[in-house]
Amino acid sequence: SQTIHQWPATLVQPVGSPLSLECTVEGTSNPNLYWYRQAAGRGLQLLFYSVGIGQISSEVPQNLSASRPQDRQFILSSKKLLLSDSGFYLCAWTGTASGTEAFFGQGTRLTVV
């Protein structure tokens, strides 16, 4: 069966420090991969999605970047964190067909202090 792993679960980082969140998927090949951010009391904002290795689409201009070095690995990064980067970050995957179920990881709660 397919599983998605996301880590760490919680992270407290000072302003100006770098960030690296990792997400891996098991049990499937060539998944579409997504990073979402969920601010407190708000919906899920799509940050990045990827349909293949090295292919990244950015949905909103921001202080973050994403990379997909391997088929089932998706990384969210920042060189210098801002206070506004605090939030709950979710990785998700879907199959290659459009309009299919998205499977989410357990999320990373990032607090920038």
Which CB atom, from 14 or from 43, has the smaller least distance to another protein? 43
Q: CB of residue 1 vs another protein: minimum separation in angstroms?
A: 14
CA distance 105 to 21: 12
59 binds another protein (CB under 8 A): yes
Q: CB of residue 56 vs another protein: minimum separation in angstroms?
A: 12
Are 22 and 12 in contact by the 8 Å Cβ rule? The answer is: no
Indicate the burial class of 12 (C-beta count within 10 angstroms; 0-12, 13-18, 19 or more): exposed
- Residue partners of 95: CB distance under 8 A and separation at least 6: 28, 31, 32, 101
105 binds another protein (CB under 8 A): yes
Which CB atom, from 6 or from 24, has the smaller least distance to another protein? 6
101 binds another protein (CB under 8 A): yes
CA distance 26 to 23: 10
56 binds another protein (CB under 8 A): no
CA distance 80 to 111: 14
Can you tell me which of 46, 58, 62, 65 binds another protein, judged by CB under 8 A?
46
Q: Where does this chain bind another protein (CB under 8 A)? A: 6, 32, 34, 36, 42-46, 49, 51, 59, 90, 92, 94, 98-107, 109
